[in-house]
Amino acid sequence: MAKKENKHSKREIKKDSLKKKPKLNIFPETKRGIVAIILFTLAIIFILSFQNAGGTLGSLFFKGSKFIFGSCLWIVPLALFIAGVIILKDIHRNVYTSTLFGVLLFTLSFLGIVQTLFPDTKEYKAGLLGYLISWPLLKILGFWATLVVFVAVILIAVLIAFNVPLKAPKKKEEEPGEKISQEIKGVGFTSPEKRVTNFVKGFFSKPHIEVKELSEEESESKEKGKKKKEEEELIPTSGTTIKDYTFPPLELLEADKGQPSSGDIKTNIAIIQKTLENFGIPVEMGEVNVGPTVTQYTLRPASGVKLSKITALHRDLSLALAAHPIRIEAPIPGRSLVGIEIPNKTKTMVRLRDLLMSYDYKQNGHNLNIVLGRDVAGNPAWANLVKMPHLLIAGATGSGKSICIHSLITSLLYQKSPWELKFILVDPKRVELPFYNGIPHLLTPVIVDLNKVLNAFKWAIKEMEERYKKLAEIGAKDLASYNEKIVKNNPREM
Interval 31-46: pLDDT, tens: 778 888 888 888 888 8
3-class secondary structure, 187: coil
- Intra-chain end-to-end CA distance of the chain, in Å: 70
Q: What percent of the chain has pLDDT over 90?
A: 16
β-strand pairing of 294-301 with 338-343: antiparallel
481 pLDDT exceeds 70?
A: yes
Question: Rounded to whole angstroms, how far apart are CA atoms 410 and 87?
Answer: 27
Q: For residue 263, what are the CA distances in angstroms to 266, 294, 316, 349?
A: 9, 11, 19, 18
Highest mean pLDDT pick, 43-57, 172-186, 312-326: 312-326
Question: Is the pLDDT confidence value at 417 over 90?
Answer: no
Mean pLDDT computed over every residue of the chain: 75
- Spatial separation of the C-alpha atoms in residues 297 and 308, rounded to whole Å: 18
Q: How confident is the model at residue 274 (pLDDT cuts 50, 70, 90)?
A: very high
pLDDT above 90: residue 476? no
Domain covering 264-343 in this structure, CATH number: 3.30.980.40
Cα–Cα distance measured from residue 409 to residue 371, given in angstroms and rounded to the nearest whole number: 9
| Helix, strand, coil share (%) of the chain residues, nearest 5 | 55, 10, 35
Q: Is pLDDT above 90 for 362? A: no
**328/216: higher pLDDT:** 328
Phi and psi at residue 254, in whole multiples of 5°?
A: -75, 145
- The contacts of residue 25 (CB under 8 Å, 6+ apart) are 259, 378
User: Beta partners for 298?
Assistant: 339
326 Cα distance to chain centroid: 32
For residues 78 and 90, what is the distance between their CA atoms, to the nearest angstrom? 18
> Is the model more confident about 224 or about 436?
436
| 326: nearest Cα among 293, 304, 354, 350 | 293
Q: What are phi and psi of 332, to 5 degrees?
A: -70, 130
Residue 133 has pLDDT above 80, yes or no: yes
**Cis peptide leading into 169, omega within 30 of 0?**
no
Least confident of 4-13, 53-62, 238-247, 469-478: 4-13
* Spatial separation of the C-alpha atoms in residues 369 and 159, rounded to whole Å: 37
The mean pLDDT value for 338-348 works out to: 91
Q: What is the pLDDT of residues 302-342, one digit of tens each?
A: 988 899 999 999 999 999 999 988 999 988 888 889 999 99
DSSP H helices, 383-492, are: 401-413, 453-474, 479-489
Nearest to 43 by CA among 70, 74, 81, 89: 81
Separation of CA 427 from chain center: 26
Q: Where are the domains of the chain?
A: 28-162, 264-343
pLDDT of res. 304: 87
pLDDT (average), residues 219-237: 43
For residue 13, pLDDT beyond 50:
no
Torsions phi, psi of 459, nearest 5?
Answer: -65, -40
d(CA 332, CA 306): 15
Residue closest to 434 by CA, chosen among 301, 442, 335: 442
Q: Is 152 exposed, middle or buried (0-12, 13-18, 19+ CB in 10 A)?
A: exposed
**In 163-226, which residue ranges form alpha helices assigned H by DSSP?**
176-186, 193-204, 216-225
Q: What is the DSSP string of 92-130?
A: TSPPPHHHHHHHHHHHHHHHHHHHHHS-SSSS-TTHHHH
Phi-psi region of 322 (alpha: psi -120 to 50; beta: other; left: phi over 0): left
In one-letter notation, the amino acid at residue 389 is P
Residue 349 has pLDDT above 70, yes or no: yes
Provide the pLDDT for residue 17: 45
